Structure 1
Amino acid sequence: MTNEALWALGRGNGVVALVFMTVSMALGIAARSGRPLLVLPRFAVSDVHRFAALSSTLLVALHIGLLFLDPYAKLKLIDIVVPFLGAYRPLWQGLGTVAVDVLAVVVITGLLRHRIGPRVFRLVHWATYSLWPVSMAHALGNGTDSGRVWFLAIAGGCAVVVAAALTWRLRANFNEYADA
C-alpha cells in the first residue's frame, strides 16, 4: 500500500469515527431519557448507541493504526498513550491522545459494567462529555482537511447534532430514565 493510501485511509477513518462518535453521543443522551426517539423504541435507541460507540472505537483504532504505519505521520508508540509528545502539531495530536485515553477508560468500564456497578459506570461514562469536544478539537487542529468545505460541513453537522442533544438534555423537563 502506498504512503498516500495509508494517509488517506487514516484521515478518512478519523472523520468517520467523529461522525459515529457524534451519533453515539446524541443517542447516549437520548437513551438516558427513557423515551423513544422518533420511531425507535427505547431498547433500539440503546442498541444503536452501543453499535455507534463500538463502531467509533474500532474506527479510532484503525485511524491510529493506519497513521502509525504511515511514514509521513511519524507516530511513535508513546504518542498513542502519552499526550503532547508528538513531533507533528503536538498540542492537537496530544488532544487526540487524550481522547484515546478517555475512550479506553470508557470502553474498559463498559466491559466491566456489571462488576463495577451502575454508579461507577455512570460516573466514568460522564467522561464522554469531554471526549467528544476534545476529539473535535483534535480533528479541527490536526486534520489536514480541516480547511476544506466538505470537512467543515461534516464537523459543523456534528456540532449541531451534539448541541441539539445537549440542549434537549439540559431542558428543565428532561426526564432521566432510572436504572432498574
Structure 2
Amino acid sequence: MTALWYLSRATGLALLIMLTSVVVLGALHSGRFAARKWPRFAIAEVHRNLSLVTVVFLVVHVATAIIDPYAGIHWLDAVLPFVSSYHPFWLGLGAFASDLFLALIISSLLRPRISARAWRALHWTAYACWPFGLVHGLGIGGADSRLAWVLLLMLCCGVAVLIAVVWRYNARHPDTEARRRPWTGMR
C-alpha cells in the first residue's frame, strides 16, 4: 500500500462527511431554517464555503487515485462515467457524482448570470450527487467499506441526509410556499 492509496481512501471518507454536511446545510437553508446562534446568512455562508473546500478534497481524491499506479485509472475515467477498465460501474458512479457536484459549483458561481429557475433545477441534482457518491464508496472501497466504523459512518451520513431532506420537504415558510406554487417565484 502506498501513501497515495491511503490519501485517496482518506479523502474519499472525508468527502462523504463534507458532502453530507453540504447537503444537510443546503436543505436547512432552502427550508429557511434559522436559529439565534445560526442565522440563515451563516448557514448559507458555511454551506457555500464548505462546498468550495469539498471541491479541493474532490480534486485530491481524484488526483491521488489517478497518480497511484495500482488501479490504472486515467483522467478520462474520472470525468466520463463508466468508461474505466478498473471497476467501471463503481468508478463510473463516482465520476457521475463528481460531474454533478462540479455542475453544482459552476452553476452557483454563475448564479448571478443565470435564471433562478435554471439554478434551482441544477441544484436539485445535489440530491442525486450524494447517493451516487455513497454507493461509489461502498462499491469501490473494497475491504475498507466493510469495516464496522466505515459502515457506521456511512449509516450516520445517510440518516443525517434523510432527516434533512424530510425536514426540508415538510418545511413551511412563505418563501418556500411561493416556490412550490407553479409559475410563482421562479423568475
* Structure 1 and Structure 2 fold alike (TM over 0.5): yes
Q: Which amino acid aligns with 1:52?
A: L
- 1:79-118 equivalences under 5 Å are 79-118=77-116
Percent identity between matched residues is 35
- The 2-side partners of 1:35 and 1:97 are apart by 32
Q: Paired residue for 1:56?
A: 54
Find runs of 4+ consecutive structure 1 residues off by over 3 angstroms.
none
In structure 2, the gaps of 5 or more residues are: 180-184
Q: CA deviation at 1:35?
A: 2.6
Superposition deviation, residue 120 in structure 1? 1.1
Task: Say what the alpha-carbon RMSD is for the aligned residues.
Answer: 1.8
Within a 5 Å distance, the mapping from 1:85-164 to structure 2 comes to: 85-144=83-142, 145-164=144-163
The letter of the residue matching 1:129 is: Y
Give the counterpart letter for 1:146 in structure 2: S
- The count of aligned residue pairs is 177
TM-score by length of 1: 0.92
Stretches of structure 1 that go unaligned for 5 or more consecutive residues are none
Q: Which whole-Å CA distance do the structure 1 matches of 2:37 and 2:75 have between them?
A: 44
Mean Cα displacement is larger for which, 5-14 or 142-151? 142-151
Q: Deviations over 1:49-74 (max 9, x none)?
A: 11221122211111001111101121
For residues 41 and 49 of structure 1, what CA distance do their matches in structure 2 show?
A: 12
Deviations 1:106-161 (A, max 9, x none): 11111111001322111111111100011111011111311011111111110010
Given that 1:37 and 1:45 are in contact with CA atoms closer than 8 Å, whether structure 2 keeps it comes out as no
Distance 1:164 1:94, change over 3 A: same
